[in-house]
Amino acid sequence: MIRIENLSKRFKKLQALDDINALFSTGQVVSLIGPNGSGKTTLIKSILGMVKADSGTIYVNGKKINGDPSYRGQIGYMPQIGRYPDNMKVGQLFRMLKNIRKMTDAELDTDLLVKFNLASIFDKPMRTLSGGTRQKVSAALAFYFNPDILILDEPTAGLDPLSSEILKEKIMQEKRKDKLILITSHILSDLDELTTHVMYLQEGKMIFLKDIETLRHETGQEKLGKAIAYVMKGGKKEALWIDEVLAVKTTGQPD
């Protein structure tokens, strides 16, 4: 569904992406993993057309991204931090995006909207919402238009345990529908039951892209966090990052 060829992007002295090549297919849940500054967000924004690469090509369903934004209609995106008009009410936001997409009620996926009980806050302005409630709104919007591709950036960050489990179960449901799902998260325990493939980035380079069973076989580790630690234990930077991840798994708080 998404093919990336020789993708590179530099921001002044920072090489954010360095000759990335990857193929993501239907039915995959790909965990994009790496330390802060490894290029995960730049890669996501390049796929969404929010960042223009210096070189290389991205194809979505066989069509090259070339400035035509229509392909984004196939993608549901949940940003790490949702930024919405402060004075817009929650209900207005959903109605506005529905009108832009020109979809009928029957075509919409309202599952998370219902399970998070967001209709009860439709009259509240976005500026009054807590961070966790904003996350619920972002999650519901990502799935709302029933897209074939989902890109979720730190989706469980800021969510309470119950809401986090509701969202993970929704991701599992969409996985069973053979959709392509890309996820970034520093909370690796959240990814254990979801992931089919792992893409590890460091300093803009793709270190590996492997299916989870191959990674488990090669490392002898069932847990994703321990498997990543096993593979990357030779480097000081990676070891420090893994220490941070293990701390997150213990405390349940994102970095």
Round the average pLDDT of the chain to a whole number and report it. 89
pLDDT score, position 234: 52
Q: What is the value of pTM for the model shown?
A: 0.88
Alpha-carbon gap, residue 23 to 18, rounded angstroms: 16
- For residue range 141-182, list pLDDT tens digits in order: 999 999 999 999 999 988 999 999 999 999 999 999 999 999
Give the CA-trace dihedral at 167, 168, 173, 174, to 10 degrees: 80
Among the ranges given (34-38, 91-95, 228-232), the one the predictor scored with the smallest mean pLDDT: 228-232
Question: What is the rounded average pLDDT of the residues 185-213?
Answer: 91
Look at residue 124 and tell me whether its pLDDT is greater than 50.
yes
Give the CA-trace dihedral at 213, 218, 221, 223, to 10 degrees: -40
List the CATH number of the domain containing 49.
3.40.50.300
Closest by CA to 137, choosing from 162, 116, 107, 154, is 116
- For residue range 25-48, list pLDDT tens digits in order: 999 999 999 888 899 999 999 999
Look at residue 253 and tell me whether its pLDDT is greater than 50.
no
Band of pLDDT at residue 60, cut at 50, 70 and 90: very high
Band of pLDDT at residue 239, cut at 50, 70 and 90: very low
Range of the domain at 134: 2-251
Which residues fall within 8 angstroms of residue 144, CB to CB, at 6 or more apart?
Answer: 76, 94, 97, 98, 108, 109, 110, 112, 113
Q: How many domains does the chain have?
A: 1
Alpha-carbon gap, residue 198 to 27, rounded angstroms: 14
